[in-house]
Amino acid sequence: MRALAEFIMRGRTQATLVVAGAAALPMMFWLSAAAGSLVLLRRGMNDAVGILAWALLPALGWWYFGEPRTLLVLLGSLGLALVLRSSVSWTRVLMVSVALGLLFSVVLGAVFREPIMAMAGELQKLLPQVMGGVHPQLSEDERARLDAMIAPVLTGLIAALLQLLCVLSLTLGRYWQAALYNPGGFGREIRALRLPPALSFGLLAAMLLGPNLGLELAMLTPICSVPLAFAGLALIHGLVKQGGLAGFWLVGLYVSLLLFMQLIYPLLVVLAIVDSLIDFRGRQARKNGPGPANGEG
C-alpha cells in the first residue's frame, strides 16, 4: 500500500490516474476516496482541485446509472479531509461525519426512495419469521409502528454505512500521508482519540431518544453509533500499545468484529462511552509511571 501512495504522490498525472481510474472501476470507489483524501491532505484544495475534478466525472456517471456510493463517498471523504486538514482533530472529524450521515440519509430518502421502500417491504414480510413467537404477541398499534420504522432505520443503516466508508477512506489516506511524510504520526493520532463526555452522552441520547421523538428520527441510531464505535477501536489500539501486546490481539479484534458484528460493535460503542468518563489510557499511563528515565531523555 505504501508503494501505491508513493505512486499517487509522484505527480499530478499519477494521482489523476489512480483517483479517476478507481472511481471508474466497480466497487473501487473507496480507493478513489482514499487517494483523493491523501492528495487533499498533502497539497490542499487549491492544488488538488484539478486532480479531484477528474474523479467526479465517473462518479457522476455511476450516479446516472443508479449507483450513488461512488459520488457520496468521494465527496464525503474529501469534506472530512478538509476538516482534518484545517483542525487536525479526529474528534471534530467524527462529529462532522454525523452531519454527513444525516445528509446522506436525506439524499437517499429523496432520490432513492422507491428502491428503499421496496427493500423495506421485503423486510416487512420477513419480520414474522425473524421475530418468531414475539411478533404475534404484538398489538396492532405496535405492529404498525414497527412496520413504519423499517424504512427510516433502513435508510439510516445505508447512510451510516456510507458515513463509515467515508471515515475509513479518510483513515487510509491519513495513514498513507503519515507513512510517507510523518512515520508513526498516524498511530499516535488514532491512539489518542477520546471523545469528551458531553459528546459521547449526546450521541447516546440521540441513539436512544431519536426513535421515540419521531419515526423518521430512528435513522439517528445507526448514524450516531459510528463515531462511538470508531472511538472504541481507538481505545483498544491505545491499550494494546500501552500494554506492549502483540499485534495478534488487534488482528483478533477485527476478525471478531467481522464474524460477530452484532456483539462486538455495540461493545465498542459502550467502551467508548465509558472511556469518555474514566479515561482508561490516562489511568494506565499514570499507573505505569514515567519509566526508568524519570521522564527525562
Q: Is 198 exposed, middle or buried (0-12, 13-18, 19+ CB in 10 A)?
A: exposed
The 10s digit of each residue's pLDDT in 130-175 is 666 666 667 777 777 777 788 888 898 999 999 999 999 999 999 9
Asked whether 228 and 220 are in contact (CB, 8 A), the reply is no
In terms of C-beta distances under 8 Å and separation of at least 24 residues, what long-range contacts does 236-244 make, across chains too? 236/268, 236/271, 237/187, 237/190, 237/191, 238/191, 238/192, 238/280, 238/281, 239/280, 239/281, 239/284, 241/187, 241/191, 242/281, 242/284, 242/285, 242/288, 243/284
State residue 296's pLDDT score: 36
Question: What does the block give as the cell for 244?
Answer: 506492549
Q: Report the mean per-residue pLDDT for the chain.
A: 88
For residue range 247-294, what is the model confidence (pLDDT) as tens digits? Answer: 888 999 899 989 999 899 999 999 999 999 998 888 877 776 654 444
